[in-house]
Chains A and B, each alone.
Chain A
């Protein structure tokens, strides 16, 4: 019972903070609201019994990536004068396009309540032992491939960060 209330509270907060990210005038405020959004999403992970995912989500997104975002935005010193101004036609076409997308989404999700999951949901999958066993037994190849992808991205970032490549 209490989890249902928590779910609605967290969902409400997530949507509210998510809209504040878009609506805030100040980019630093947007970043801070995004951090709060990540916290509410981490709360959802805890409700799904995925504690490991929740902790890693907070460490990686809120603790590292958003700090870098904040870092860059603080250095850029964005303000009203540097804000790009869009023409009225662009704004109108954006409104029409996003409205059509909303219609398509509503249309496709109309019958969503009848969708059944094919695999039974295991509530203990998010616990760290089960997650580790699953990752290293059933999904070993995708796991290793994604780690190689991350390594390649890391090497690429170091190469780009160098001042001169000889």
Chain B
């Protein structure tokens, strides 16, 4: 590992971190604009042209607000809660391949921070830790609404992680690798995994909605029943961190869905027109971000279209619909992969 390689990695980490924060910031703007569009309103249009500076105004407002820590709460854990939320949200971007490798002066520069050979498990581990921020914050607030929100969040996340894991196992069976770089590289042109695993994709995207606490699964912060859910007692930028972590999670989920099922940085027919690896890398990055933007739009579209589930409906969907469906998907995938063996077994 040479020094230049190390410097390259540090720059890549910083760039991806900056892009993650930028995309999450402008997702808040996009959410307001899309909500306005779906409700036949105009949306924010005061700050800058078309309200483009609205996220900056929001950030300034968040930082400038008075900070309140309830006197009876557990001060230390109250502060750690939103920090853990933000940390786990930012950690997942590490294993996502943002484009094919660049080749400058005969040296390969991968557009992926690290290609772990257990990339999917790493991702899954970090997602499963995401619930701690909400639970710690909700409990330390010493407020019954916060505690109820935290408990809803944790039980919802644990329930949907099972179905999510089972749908990923079917994907791993067909791709034969746990590395995200390899999964993206194995889907050249239009050989996207969504055509091989349509049911798996459907289960995965539903679980992704539940894991990010987005509507129609936003019961942990359901205003009509729980005031603000787990962040009722939070104010100022601590509240901002909780809300911002949700947008980062949405961005990362969209990136993961694009990489797993929609070819990542691959695009049909592009290999016919572009041959230079550097241009391919740049175009791959653009394609990936187009796909990510589309999925972020889907997240918002669903939020402003569908009403919220009732809690028992949520649990029924998770345990009695999604888990049996994902097990069925697993069995069918395995049966299809072993079709020649099964055929020979019954012929002979």
Contacts and interface: CB of A to CB of B under 8 A. Distances in A.
Interface in A110-160: 127-128
Interface of B: 77, 116-118, 121-122, 124-125, 127-129, 131-132, 135-136, 139, 147, 150-151, 154-155, 157-158, 161, 178
* Secondary structure class of chain B's binding surface, majority of residues: helix
A63 interface: yes
A68 B161 CA distance: 14
Interface residues of A, number: 20
B121 A75 contact: no
A74 B139 contact: yes
B121 A35 contact: no
Listed residue (B116, B127, B128) with the most chain A CB atoms within 10 angstroms of its CB: B128
A70 B153 CA distance: 13
Nearest to B136: A32
A74 B117 contact: no
Contact of A55 (B77, B122, B150): B122
B125 A63 contact: yes
Nearest to A58: B125
Nearest to A57: B125
Contacts of A7: none
A55 B125 contact: yes
B136 A64 contact: no
Given A55-B125, A63-B128, A70 B135 contact: yes
Interface string A61-74: 01110011011001
Contacts of A32: 77, 136
Given A32-B136, A74-B139, A64 B121 contact: no
B264 to A, nearest CB: 21
A55 B158 CA distance: 17
Contact of A67 (B116, B125, B131): B131
Contact of A59 (B117, B125, B150): B125
Contacts of A52: 118, 121
